Amino acid sequence: MAILTQTKAAVDQQFGPPTMADNLIGGDDFFKREEAYQYSVGDLQVIVGFYSGIGRYVAFTKGMLDPQQFASEDVQSSLMLIAPPSQWKSSADQTPAPAPAGGAKPSTPPPAHVIGSVGADVTYQCTIKDSAGNDVSVLAWHRSDKAYVFAYCPLMMPPQPAIAASPAVIDPNFEQS
């Protein structure tokens, strides 16, 4: 199930009862209806931000007491909770493929890779369906020097507001004290 675009009740049913969490995007009057909850999913702590009861963003961490960097398989496991790996495109996929001999076009495009290179910031994008069947774009990122993966839906059908998230806004939420 895609965590994003789901109701809080559906996410609770999938992952169990949550605990309250700090809002990761809020701060202005526009997001007065934002609520965040934390779920434990295997080795991951999952913070889901709901706006008017609909999941709009998610942050995956490996624990705040001893933050650990994410290995490529951790990033993949996180993103799989939103959409299958085949749906994700990453900034690491932007390297051009070598042209086949004789100038012929490749018969099939190379598969999309979910995981980017170690040591670089990698962004991800996919499209999922909301409960009404509308296409919803999901953007995500993982920074190799940070212990979280963040994904969000920047635009959804009204009455949902647009969200503009960036590492500069999200990073301070995961800084060690």
pLDDT value at residue 115: 37
SS3 92: helix
CB 149 within 8 A of CB 78: yes
Specify the higher pLDDT residue, 28 or 141. Answer: 141
Which structural domain, as residue segments, surrounds residue 87?
A: 8-94+111-174
Tell whether the model's pLDDT for residue 176 goes beyond 80.
no
Range with lowest mean pLDDT among 40-49, 67-76, 123-132, 135-144: 67-76
Q: Does any domain span residue 3?
A: no
Query: Quick one: CA dihedral 101, 106, 107, 110, positive or negative?
Result: positive
Q: Does any domain span residue 164?
A: yes
Work out how many domains the chain is built from and give that number.
Answer: 1
Q: How confident is the model at residue 27 (pLDDT cuts 50, 70, 90)?
A: low
Q: Does any domain span residue 53?
A: yes
Q: Does any domain span residue 106?
A: no
pLDDT digits (tens, 9 = 90+) for 73-82: 889 999 999 9
pLDDT digits (tens, 9 = 90+) for 50-60: 988 999 999 99
Q: Does any domain span residue 100?
A: no
SS (H, E, C) 26-65: CCCHHHCCEEEEEEEECCEEEEEEEECCEEEEEEEECCCC
pLDDT digits (tens, 9 = 90+) for 79-111: 999 999 999 998 876 554 444 455 544 443 333
pTM (predicted TM-score): 0.81
What average pLDDT score do residues 125-147 get?
A: 90
Query: How far, in Å, CA of 92 to CA of 124, rounded?
Result: 9
pLDDT-above-90 percentage for the chain: 44
